[in-house]
Amino acid sequence: MSSNALKKIALIAMVLDHIALFLPGMPLYLRWIGRISMPLFLFVFVHSIDNTKDRKAFAGRLYIFNALMAFLDLAYNIMPIPSERYYGIFVRLDTNIFGTFFALYVLILVIKKTIARSAHWKKILAAYIFWQAATVVFCTFVSIQLDDAYCLFFAAISGNIFFNEGRFFVIALGIALYFSKNQKWKCASWYSAVVLGNSVIILSQIIPRIYMHLSSNLLADFIYCRIFGTLGYDVLRFEPPNFLTNEFEWMAMSALPLFLLYDGSKGRPHKYFYYVFYPCHIMAFALLGQFL
pLDDT digits (tens, 9 = 90+) for 225-261: 777 777 777 777 667 778 888 888 999 999 999 999 9
Average pLDDT over residues 143-168: 90
Domain that residue 117 falls in: 3-205+240-289
For residue 6, pLDDT beyond 80: yes
pLDDT of residue 92: 72
pTM assigned to the model = 0.89
Which is higher by pLDDT, 193 or 222? 193
pLDDT of residue 166: 87
Average pLDDT over residues 254-280: 88
Say if 235 falls within a structural domain. Answer: no
Contact 151/163 with Cβ under 8 angstroms?
yes
CA–CA separation, 20 vs 34, rounded Å? 9
Say if 217 falls within a structural domain. Answer: no
Rg over CA atoms, the chain:
19
Contact 7/273 with Cβ under 8 angstroms?
no
Say if 80 falls within a structural domain. Answer: yes
CA 115 to chain centre: 25
Count of domains forming the chain: 1
Which is higher by pLDDT, 99 or 86? 99
Say if 188 falls within a structural domain. Answer: yes
Contact 7/45 with Cβ under 8 angstroms?
no
Written as one letter, the residue type at 26 is M
Say if 211 falls within a structural domain. Answer: no
Distances (CA, A) of 188 to 11, 60, 185, 249, 256: 22, 31, 5, 16, 7
Helix/strand/coil for 205:
coil
